[in-house]
Amino acid sequence: RQLTAAARQISRGNFDVGDVTVRSRDELRFLAETFNGMCANIRRLVREIKQKSELDALVKKMELKSLQNQINPHFLFNTLNMVSKMAYVEGAEKTSDLVGSISALLRYNLKKLHRDVVLREEIAIVREYFFIQKMRFGSRIAFSERIDESCLETIVPSLTIQPLVENAFAHGIESYERGAELTLAVYGRDGKIIVEIRDNGVGMDEEEVRALLDRRGDPAEFEPSAGEAGGIGLRNVLRRLELYYQCEDVMEIETERGKGTTVRLKLPVAGERGLAAYA
């Protein structure tokens, strides 16, 4: 009867029931001791969960305070625009263009990831990125593009193309002293919009490609890691596209060690987005 009463209390969420005492030396005593041990473990787990919840709340409060202390993005944009106009007035047109590109890139990257855009916007911001890197590295790197304008009204998730271009640059060709090439192509094929980012960089082996495309890993592995393309890595983009279009066949990688890499996105045309809401 004691065990039954205690079990009822546990099932109702009351984990503070006292130990069940059985004086006999039979199976009931073993059952009671096991039950008491289970209750103690539950109480310990509940206590740890509460402590972790309190700690998480404190950390979030600290993070919010840190964000509040950061520079206001609008102030930063306005300052960059002012610097750009001053440079233009003073005759430093290249400096004016460079600051304008940096401002546009920052503004675009601070938008919410769940915002949908047309592919034309993604390509426009990639061109700003190309311009910045060309000003930085000069003749060390050549950028080129092959764009079918009729494909650019397709709806895509924000920050889909630039992270892949940045990854190709950072991990493929940034170390080259000369002869680095990066190409962006957009065209239609088999009812889909194809976006290709091709570089002539260091390339990857098959094991690295499998690791990038492996869907069996912990979802946390899709989170951005330090140093990856503006905080958004290739696997992150892949996972967002799979959720957005509700299909897995959205990305393929062709690569060979020492001969470069091509990342190819295969995007359904506008209106063929998956039924599940993307958020």
Backbone region of residue 14 per phi and psi (left: phi > 0; alpha: psi in -120 to 50; beta: other values): beta
Distance from C-alpha of 155 to C-alpha of 116, rounded to nearest angstrom: 7
pLDDT of residue 120: 93
pLDDT in tens, 64-81: 655 555 555 666 666 777
Is the confidence at residue 63, as pLDDT, over 70? Answer: no
Helix (H) or strand (E) holding 195: strand 192-199
pLDDT of residue 80: 76
pLDDT of residue 270: 53
| 189: β partners | 192
Is the confidence at residue 62, as pLDDT, over 60? Answer: no
| 143: β partners | 182
pLDDT of residue 226: 41
Is the confidence at residue 221, as pLDDT, over 50? Answer: no
pLDDT of residue 275: 32
Q: What is the pTM of this model?
A: 0.60
| 46, 15 Cβ separation under 8 angstroms | yes
Is the confidence at residue 243, as pLDDT, over 50? Answer: yes
Is the confidence at residue 239, as pLDDT, over 90? Answer: no
> 113-148 burial, b for 16+ CB within 10 Å, e for fewer?
eeeebebebbbebbebbbbbbbeebeeebebeeebe
Helix (H) or strand (E) holding 213: helix 206-213
Is the confidence at residue 111, as pLDDT, over 70? Answer: no
Calculate mean pLDDT across residues 187-200: 93
Please, which pLDDT band fits residue 27 given cuts at 50, 70 and 90?
Answer: confident
- Tell how strand 192-199 and strand 155-157 pair up: unpaired
Q: Which residues contact 153 (CB under 8 A, 6 or more apart)?
A: 118, 119, 120, 270
DSSP state of 173: I
Is the confidence at residue 215, as pLDDT, over 80? Answer: no
